Structures are given as C-alpha cells and as structure tokens.
Amino acid sequence: MVLGMINEIQQHLDARYIGPPEAAWRIFGHHLHAEMPTVVRLALHLPGMHRVVFNPEESLETIQSRAGQQMSTLIGFFAYCASSEEECPFTYQEFPQHYVWLKSEKRWKSRERGYAIGRMYFASPNCGERFYLRLLLTVVKGPKSFQSLRTVDNVVHDTFKLACVAMGLLEDDKEWIQCLKEAAVMKTGYQLRRLFSIILTQCSPLNPCKSLIDFSPMPQPTANWSAVVGKTFLYNTIALKCRNLGYIVVTVTSSGIASLLLVGGRTAHSTFSIPLDVLDNSNCGLSKQSLQAELFRETKLIIWVKVPMQHRHCVEAVDRTLRDICDSKKPFGGIIVVLGGDFRQILQVIPKGVREQIVNASLRHSVLWKHIHILTLDLNMRLNREGHKNANFANFLMEVTLL
C-alpha cells in the first residue's frame, strides 16, 4: 500500500454491485473467466536459493532435511533431463509446451492434451548471476544441473557470467573503453565521472570491476580507511541497532562526502528540503500530506552529523517543520535527534561576515541549545593508529582554539 494515495482499484471492488445471476454463478463455483493458453510460471533461482516453506517451531535439522527434498520447477527440470535416456531437445521455456508440472508430486510428466507456454520470472542485469543464469536457460537445451549450464565445450566455468562469455552471449567492453578514451580528450573530470557512472548503472558492462592498480600513473591509497573507527562507527552502530529493533532511523550529514560514510546517509538539505537561502523564520519545503511527512511521523531517531558546519537557521527550520508535521510542540516534533560534530572544526561560511556574525550563526546561539543534552567523545581513535605527525597537528589545533 502506498501511503497518502487513494487506492482506486480497491474502491471500485468495494463499491461494485453484484446481481443475482452473478451471485448464483459464484455460489456454484463456476469459473468467472477463462485463460487461453495456460501460462506456466517457471521458477528462477540460484543453487540452494529456491523457496522453502517451513514451520518456525520445527527443529533446524527437520527444516534442512525438508529444504533438501523440496523441488522447484527448475530443479525438477534438471532432474527430468538427467533421468531421461535421450537428450532433451527443449529449453526451460519450451518445456511446458510438451510437459506438465504436477504440483502435488513436484515432478514433470509428458503432456497428453492441451497447450501451455512457459514464462520465467524476470531478472534485471543488476541481479548479477541470476540474470546470467536466466540468459543461459533461454538457449541451452536439456541441461542436467547447474554445473551442466556452466559447462561449455567440456570446460566447467566458475560462474554463469563466464559461461555466457564463452558461448558468445555477451559482448566485450571494447566499445565502452573506446568511449571513455575519446571522452578523456575533451571532457572535464566531473563529466568523465558522470559518464563512467552512466556506463556502470545503465549499460551493464561485462567487467565493471577496475582498480587503481591497473593504472600505474594513478596514486594508490596510503591507508585502510575502512578500518578507521571513531564518531562514524558510533553513529552507524546506533542506527543499525535501532533499525534491528524495527525502528525507522534517518541519517543525514551537512556534506555529501560525509554522507557516504553513514549507512543510508544523505545530505540534510536533500532529506529535509531545507531552502538554500534560509532565514530566521524559514520552513522546509515539506507538505503535511507528502510521503516524506508520513515517513517523519513514523521516524524514531534522526542522526545529523557535522551539524556545526550548518547555519543555526537550518536546524531551526527543520525543528519548525517537524513540529508542524507531527502536530507537537516538543523540539523536532518529539523525535529523538542526535546532533554530532566538533565546534573546533570548520564553522559556517558567512559571506563577508565578521567574527560576531559567524559566532551568532552557530548552533550554540540557537533557542534549541537549552534542550540539547551534551555527550562528549574524548578519545581520538585516529591518533591511536597514526603516527606522531597527526598527534602534533591535533595538539596544534587545540592550541589554536584556546587562543
């Protein structure tokens, strides 16, 4: 169900009039319509990923035993081709035209009458191996197993994608490489990155995984940034814990780069629709009837990182908007908000502003500051991992802020 929208189909069904003839026809259980021809839905799944129905109160051993015995139409197709004395001349989609799937017995048998067509469930190129499995099933006739599908010219390939390449079902990336080479001559860095992202997301290149090691002139990363912990680790831990409990958590930051470090992070301006030219009485561009408003009414926690970089009017605009949306006089409409950041780092940018104007724009001078409970993190995790140069620079920053 889509929140905030009218379900016209359901309204039509609820208000439709049923006359005596139709009522009697339904009571006697007659078919209301006919389908011609019959369409057989064919399961599409990777090895061990078929649907299994079980009782959660049963033991793990019982569930695993039943899972190994349950048959899908795809596994049954492999089993029939493997048990047949003659090679099956049909693909998976052609199989229902000549065979019938017995749901109660979970097996295929020869079709004696009627006609049917098979339709595999759709898989987009973004599905990875599931997409390449579907591609192979449309052309390979009579495969006996998943391994048989990955075998081309007596060579067993590690993935379905490599099997598609060996069969010539996929084109190479020469056209995309040539496209990037031509664009590198005339495009800017931003345009090149945008073109590369379009190729990755919309053109499904064969080998999108590239590393800076493949390009010798490019500088290599000097640190393992994924291993660095600190405030970001704490934010993600709080967010994941609350989401695990079934709560809705919104994570935002004041900059786009910082949003990449948070799980599900976005910029504050994008999430709250904060005006670019924010004033002391501004409101965010959110309507009480919008889907975003419905989301915030169900939100349990908001984590706002790098908030000292934001003008206090931005935070106050969000506060006014959430109070209006949630119909509450409590700060931020009663939603728990974690505001994170360091006031010794970059402050707000006030064009041609003097010291007094910059200080006045700080969150510390907001009317909301008296409602904020302050918690501090005193241990700098980066200094425990890095050399003495970072420690000296940190001490230098401390001396500057104390001037």
Which domains does the chain carry?
A: 34-166 (no CATH), 174-208 (no CATH), 231-382 (3.40.50)
Q: Flag whether pLDDT at 335 surpasses 90.
A: yes
| Band (400; pLDDT cuts 50, 70, 90) | low
pLDDT digits (tens, 9 = 90+) for 180-228: 888 888 888 888 888 888 888 777 777 777 776 766 666 676 655 555 5
> Whole-angstrom Cα distance, residue 80 to residue 95?
11
pLDDT at residue 360 greater than cutoff 80: yes
pLDDT at 1: 40
Q: What angle do CA 202, 169, 145 make, to 5 degrees?
A: 110
What confidence score (pLDDT) does residue 2 get? 47
The 3-state DSSP class for residue 396 equals helix
Residue 341 has pLDDT above 70, yes or no: yes
Mean pLDDT of the chain: 84
The pLDDT assigned to 229 comes to 55
What is residue 47's DSSP assignment?
Answer: T
Lowest mean pLDDT among 34-38, 104-108, 314-318, 327-331: 34-38
Q: What is the pTM of this model?
A: 0.49
Dist. CA 117–CA 394, nearest whole Å: 70
* CA-wise closest residue to 254 among 359, 357, 342: 342
What DSSP element (H or E) covers 151? strand 151-152
Token digits for 294?
């419905």
Mean pLDDT for 356-377 is 88
Half-sphere exposure of 200 (CA within 13 A, CB side): 9
Band (pLDDT 50/70/90 cuts) for residue 138 is: very high
pLDDT surpassing 70 at residue 157 = yes
Does the structure show a pLDDT above 70 at 401? no
> Residue 109 pairs with which residues in a beta bridge?
100
Q: Tell me the DSSP string of 255-283.
A: SHHHHTTSTT-EEHHHHHT--SS--TT--
Dist CA 383 CA 396 (whole Å):
13
pLDDT in tens, 8-60: 877 777 777 778 888 898 889 888 777 778 889 999 999 988 888 788 888 88
Q: What is the pLDDT of residues 58-90, one digit of tens each?
A: 888 888 887 777 889 999 999 999 998 888 999
Task: Give per-residue pLDDT as tens, 266-289.
Answer: 888 989 999 888 888 889 988 888
User: Tokens for 302?
Assistant: 């908001």
What SS3 state is found at 42?
Answer: strand
What average pLDDT does range 238-260 have in this prediction?
88
Cα angle at 265 between 262 and 266, to 5 degrees?
145
Q: Which pLDDT does position 252 carry in this prediction? A: 92
**Percent of the chain at pLDDT above 70?**
90
Q: Indicate whether 97 pLDDT > 90.
A: yes
Q: Does the pLDDT of residue 248 top 50, yes or no?
A: yes
The whole-number average pLDDT for the span 384-390 is: 63
Contact 294, 343 (CB under 8 A): no
Q: Name residues whose C-beta falls within 8 Å of residue 17's C-beta, 6 or more positions apart in sequence.
A: none
Mean pLDDT throughout 341-349?
77
| pLDDT number for residue 22 | 84
Residue 29 has what pLDDT? 86
Residue with tokens 């052609």: 94
